[in-house]
């Protein structure tokens, strides 16, 4: 469901997505990813971490909706990328997510091209999470940076936190115009995208006040 459809909704139909968390202390990217994953088909998600990513952020120990996580930690980024590629060969998976820390030489343009190719060929969405990495060239179809924002007001208790909220910048895409959105979890599932007032024209030149992509 899309409340405004003059342009493609963010994240809808992207087979390969590269995401840069804002900083090492900002774990909001995980909530953003979980909201997006709620829109994929039910099944298992292969979640791969290299050693440094697991040390910094911990292992994912959760269940979300109809998705179940298969978690793998590997010492070297090379092995994590191999595991992600192999996972993308498996059509029974709902998605593959790989966390890579820093800017290892093994994660070059060719490596991202292999991930993007495998994702498109299998139809399994691939998320590549880049912790503490520069924005170098990449073959991933969409590239995002996500930063946590204060949560929305709680509808019943003004002193309690409401739904989580993020600022998400799409800085490169092969299917739509880049832009900046304020994003929150939709109570019905998925993510709700609204362009900040100062960036509304950049995010969508014909935008309505808000739009949502629901799973």
215 within domain boundaries: no
The angle, 0 to 180 degrees and rounded to 10, between the axes of the packed helices 77-88 and 109-122 is 20
9 within domain boundaries: no
How sure is the predictor about 196, in pLDDT bands with cuts at 50, 70 and 90? low
Which of 31, 33, 29, 45 is CA-nearest to residue 132? 29
CATH number, domain of 196, equals: 3.40.50.300
10 within domain boundaries: no
| Low-confidence winner among 147-151, 175-179, 194-198 (lowest mean pLDDT) | 194-198
213 within domain boundaries: no
This prediction's pTM? 0.83
199 within domain boundaries: yes
Domain interval for residue 174: 16-151+161-207
195 within domain boundaries: yes
Contacts of 197 (CB under 8 A, 6+ apart): none
pLDDT (tens digit, 9 = 90+) per residue, 159-171?
888 888 999 999 9
147 within domain boundaries: yes
156 within domain boundaries: no
Number of separate helices (H) and strands (E) present in the chain: 5, 10
Q: SS3 for 193?
A: strand
Phi/psi of residue 85, nearest 5 degrees: -60, -45
Mean pLDDT of 87-104: 94
Domain count, the chain: 1
How sure is the predictor about 156, in pLDDT bands with cuts at 50, 70 and 90? confident
How sure is the predictor about 198, in pLDDT bands with cuts at 50, 70 and 90? low
Assigned token pair, 45? 């998600």
Assigned token pair, 86? 């192999």
């Amino acid at each position: 469901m899309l409340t405004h459809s003059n342009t493609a909704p963010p994240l809808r139909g992207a087979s390969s997505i590269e995401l840069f968390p804002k900083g090492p202390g900002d774990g909001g990217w995980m909530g953003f990813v979980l909201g997006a994953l709620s829109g994929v088909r039910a099944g298992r998600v292969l979640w791969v971490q290299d050693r440094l990513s697991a040390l910094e952020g911990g292992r994912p120990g959760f269940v979300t909706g109809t998705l179940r996580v298969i978690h793998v930690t590997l010492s070297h980024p090379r092995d994590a990328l191999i595991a992600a590629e192999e996972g993308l060969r498996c059509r029974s998976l709902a998605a593959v997510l790989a966390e890579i820390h820093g800017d290892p030489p093994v994660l070059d343009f060719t490596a991202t091209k292999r991930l993007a190719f495998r994702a498109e060929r299998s139809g399994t969405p691939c998320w590549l999470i880049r912790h503490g990495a520069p924005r170098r060239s990449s073959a991933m179809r969409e590239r995002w940076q996500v930063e946590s924002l204060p949560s929305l007001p709680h509808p019943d208790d003004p002193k309690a936190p409401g739904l989580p909220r993020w600022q998400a910048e799409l800085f490169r895409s092969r299917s739509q115009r880049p832009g900046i959105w304020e994003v929150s979890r939709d109570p019905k599932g998925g993510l709700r995208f609204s362009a900040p007032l100062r960036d509304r024209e950049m995010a969508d030149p014909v935008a309505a006040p808000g739009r949502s992509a629901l799973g």
